[in-house]
Amino acid sequence: MRGGKRDAQRVTRELEKTPARSGGRSVSDVLDAWFEAKEPGWAPYSVRDHAARIKLNRDPITAMPAARLGVVDVDGWMARRRKAGSGEPTIRCQLQTLRAALQQGVRWGWLSANPAALVQGPGRGRPREFMPDHVVHAMIAAAAEVHSLAPLAFRVTASTGARRGEVAALRWVDLEPPVLRIDSAITKLHASETESGVPELIDRPTKTGDRRRLALDADTIAALESVRAEREPHAAWMFSDDDGPPNPDKISWWWSRARKIADDDSQWRFHDLRHWSASKALQSGHDVVSVARRLGHSTPETTYRTYAHATEDIGEDLGATLGDALGTFGTDAAD
């Protein structure tokens, strides 16, 4: 149950009210309308993900009148998905989509309440470990044997926490020392998604549609400026060898090759550089709002939910800091 007991009782009372005027819309209709409203602001890979999720595996729940949907129906859908062999991460993502669509239905006046908001979804399991510093250093060093641009690409990713597509979209004009601008991402469209019938690379807004200006450290700026002087006259994109943007898959290939050269644990992905960046920032005492902005998260809540376990030890340091500020005042017993 999400929220406290009073919240649960309040939503339960709302669910028992006369259903809102839904116009006979089914759950599938609400999902489709939500998707249509949100699609223009999504990156292509987000469109693909949500297009699959809104089908809910074509479960009978999608044919139900939206105004009659209850908590028991959502619970039943999750039980059927587990019985059919769907993994907990898949069910969790689909439930998040259902919650968002139904909440939009509430805002539109199609529903009186959102039953999916009361459902206890699958947990996230054991938090993923963060890449150790020595692994980050080893990967950057090994990258030099893969491609001359790979070490810099890895360092920029670790410094900014940028997503892979955002790194691929970086141009030299985005660098205005000491600031790096991130405002788009390269996405690979599959052949089935293009009019030409062949894969294409497109430059689209970032995953959350944000534009951010990130301050970089002096060493990263110096490394970028050194490469810039040599490459900018011939290539507009930072990590491309030609006139077009680099394929994000190419950056992943650099990572895979560097991992073999470094003889490192295969559990670490290129995306883990982003997690490393976020965890180091939070563990160093930077506030969640600032870290969320740097990562391009839509809300600080996303950052906290994802990286809360990275700050578990900060409480001890905080206690020591406050104790140092207080000194021994008030510790002596009264005479």
**Among 95-104, 172-181, 292-301, 305-314, the least confident range:** 305-314
Structural domains of the chain, with CATH: 5-118 (1.10.150.130), 133-295 (1.10.443.10)
- Say yes or no to pLDDT of 72 above 50: yes
What are 262-274's pLDDT values in tens digits? 987 778 999 999 9
Predicted pLDDT of residue 1: 43
Length of the chain: 335
Q: Is the pLDDT of residue 33 over 90?
A: yes
State the DSSP H helix or E strand holding residue 50, giving kind and residue range, or none if neither: helix 44-53
Q: Is the pTM of this model over 0.85?
A: no
pLDDT (mean) for 187-215: 87
How far is Cα 131 from Cα 196, in angstroms, rounded to an integer?
Answer: 41
Reading the block at residue 249, the tokens are 């898959």
Q: What's the rounded mean pLDDT across residues 146-157?
A: 97
Cα 234 from Cα 230, distance rounded (Å):
8
How many whole angstroms separate alpha carbon 109 and alpha carbon 117?
16
Whether 52 shows a pLDDT value over 80: the answer reads yes
Cα distances (Å, whole numbers) of residue 24 to 16, 21, 41, 62, 192: 18, 8, 28, 13, 34
For 26, the 3-state DSSP assignment is strand
Q: Quote the pLDDT of residue 20.
A: 47
Answer whether residue 133 shows pLDDT above 90.
yes
What is the full DSSP assignment across 154-213?
A: HHHHHHH---HHHHHT-BGGGEETTEEEE--EEEEEPGGGSSSSS-EEEEE--TT---EE
